[in-house]
Amino acid sequence: MLRWIIFAIILFFITFYGFQAIKTVSKSPWIHYLFIGVAVLVVGNFIIQFTISTEGRVLSPAKSYAFGFLLSFMLFNLALLPFLIGEDIIRFFLGLNEKFFSQKQEFHVPSRRAFISSIALGIATIPFASLLYGMYRGKYNFKVLKYVMHFEDLPESFDGYRVTQISDIHSGSFDNREKIEYAVNLIKEQQSDVILFTGDLVNNRTSEMLPWKELFSELKAKDGVYSVLGNHDYGDYIDWNSQAEKAQNLEDLKFLQKEMGFDLLLNESRFIERNGQRIAIVGVENWGKGGFKKAGDLTKASENIAPDDFKILMSHDPSHWDEVVLKDDYHYHLTLSGHTHGMQFGIEIPGWIKWSPIKWRYKHWAGIYKELGQYINVNRGFGYLGYPGRVGIWPEITVIELKKGSESLNS
């Protein structure tokens, strides 16, 4: 309860400053009423969705949009604060100067300047519009990112082998079938030898995937479609009537993936063979540092793998690579992960800048990294969760071509 009180105080404070900027720039009462109306509508809808809703802790599209609009409104007001508070400090000291160093000796605070408020509103519009764009278009702005990776010990028969990775589908968040059909067709167009899905098929419940089952069942590859579980697939983030119901949901999810043609690897491995040579596909259950589920068992998953096999590891959470994989006796040539979504917000200009606040939580959060002669690709995710959009960090389909030769990377 205390945290909600603190949140309400902060929200009122920043909204008050936003209203001050509006009043300074425009004297029209209709503009003032419009701002107040938007504030009431956005905050009221958020309260209804998260307190009165009968959906419990299920993060439905309606809740996601309520959160997204509140986030956009709050960021708009927060962007105004540095300008308005800075001006208030100056106005205060000007009032002190009037009190102690002028002939009137009165404490008189000058009025706000429309010029400052206009600049503040103009700048605040940028993140506000960006978040709205992310909700309207950005979340379906699918990008195909292609890499060529060289390995000296890659079996010759797999020179030129193509791997498509997708991750974090989060089907419970989808709200536009046409856009999802486009993305599925984009995956199919890559015509890779194998498709690897690195977890989080749903937000919480298996039923979220049922409307999309037939569509994603269209994903086929010559050497198969393999998958692992992500932290959301276990149903840990909502309330269940019983543990039996929760366990059945997980079993239903496993069966659903089988029906879709996904070979779900539960701390298991598979071999793909060509001309008497092979590579290993290793899949672990979710393992994440902090409070995330640690069901992954790398030793068990690799018990049938030889030390000199070329290995591709599927592990949903990239912290597993940091904490376990790199320290393992086996050399895992390429690990494929997801989970971070790149926070669905950031700035990326290839060859110049790659930044997101998620970097303060995860050392490896998007793209390809190399340590101790081993690589990891952290996929930015296919879907979205929480904030129903993406800004700067776009939904990703990764295509990796394996080449035999000196270790290097081309994108």
| pLDDT tens-digit series, residues 290-348 | 889 999 999 999 999 999 999 999 999 999 999 999 999 999 999 999 999 999 999 99
Q: Which CATH number fits domain 143-410: 3.40.50.2300, 3.60.21.10, 3.90.380.10, 3.40.50.1980?
A: 3.60.21.10
pTM across the whole model: 0.91
Instruction: Go through 364-398 and write b for each residue having 16 or more CB atoms within 10 A of its CB, e for each that does not.
Output: bbbbbbeeeebbbbbbbbbbbbbbbbbbbbbbbbb
Q: Sketch the domain layout of the chain as residue ranges.
A: 2-136, 143-410
Question: At 264, which helix (H) or strand (E)?
Answer: strand 262-264
Question: At 10, which helix (H) or strand (E)?
Answer: helix 2-25
Taking only the tens place, the pLDDT of each residue in 270-280 is 999 999 999 99
Cα(333)–Cα(320) distance, integer angstroms: 15
Where does residue 290 fall: left (phi above 0), alpha (psi -120 to 50 degrees), or beta otherwise? left
CB-based contact 390:345 (threshold 8 Å): yes
Q: Within a 13 Å sphere around the CA of 284, how many CA atoms are in the beta-carbon half?
A: 29
Question: Strand 396-404 to strand 161-166: parallel, antiparallel, or no bridges (unpaired)?
Answer: antiparallel
* Residue 157 burial (CB count, 10 A): 16
Beta bridge partners of 401: 148, 162
Label residue 111 by pLDDT band (50, 70, 90): confident
- Residues above pLDDT 90, as percent of the chain: 82
Taking only the tens place, the pLDDT of each residue in 57-78 is 677 888 999 999 999 999 999 9
Beta bridge partners of 409: 149
Label residue 89 by pLDDT band (50, 70, 90): confident
Question: Strand 408-410 to strand 161-166: parallel, antiparallel, or no bridges (unpaired)?
Answer: unpaired
